[in-house]
Amino acid sequence: MTTDENFFTESKQKVEEYVKDRLLLLKLEAVEKISRVAGSLFAGLLIALFSFFLIMFLSIMLGYFLGELLHHMFWGFGIVAGLYLVLLAVVIVFRKHLFERPIINMMIDIFFEKKKEHPHKTEDLKEAAKVETNEQ
C-alpha cells in the first residue's frame, strides 16, 4: 500500500508543478502579447502625431499658396478646407476597409501568433540544414 500511496503523492506533486508551470507560461505569454500591443500602439501614436504636424504645416502652405494665386486668402484656405471635407467623406465611406479590418487583423496576428515548429524528423533536419547553408 505504501507504493500506491507514494505513487499518488508523487503524481499529485507532478500535477501541481505542471499546473504552476502552465500558469506561469500563460502569464508570460500574456505579458509578451500585451507588450507587443502597447509597443505597436505607441509607435502608431508617434507616427500619427508626426503625420498630423506634417499635414497641418503642408495645409497652411497650400492655403497661402492658393490664396496668393487667387489673390484672396479666403479662397485659398476655403479650397484646402474643401479638400479635407472630401477626404473626410472618403474616410467615412471606407472606414471598415481602411481602419477596422486592418486593426482587427493586426490584433488577431498578435494574439494568435503561430510559433515556429521545430523539425522532428531527420529528413526535416536535413532540409533545414540545406536551407541554412544555402542562405550563407
- Closest Cα to residue 102, out of 38, 40, 52, 36? 40
pTM above 0.85, yes or no: no
- pLDDT confidence of residue 107: 81
Residues with pLDDT less than 50, the chain? 118-119, 121-122, 125-126, 128-136
Vertex 45 angle, CA 44 and 49, to 5°? 120
44-72 tens-digit pLDDT = 999 999 999 999 999 999 999 999 999 99
In angstroms, the first-to-last Cα distance of the chain is: 61
Amino acid symbol at 20: K
Distance separating alpha carbons of residues 58 and 110, to the nearest angstrom: 35
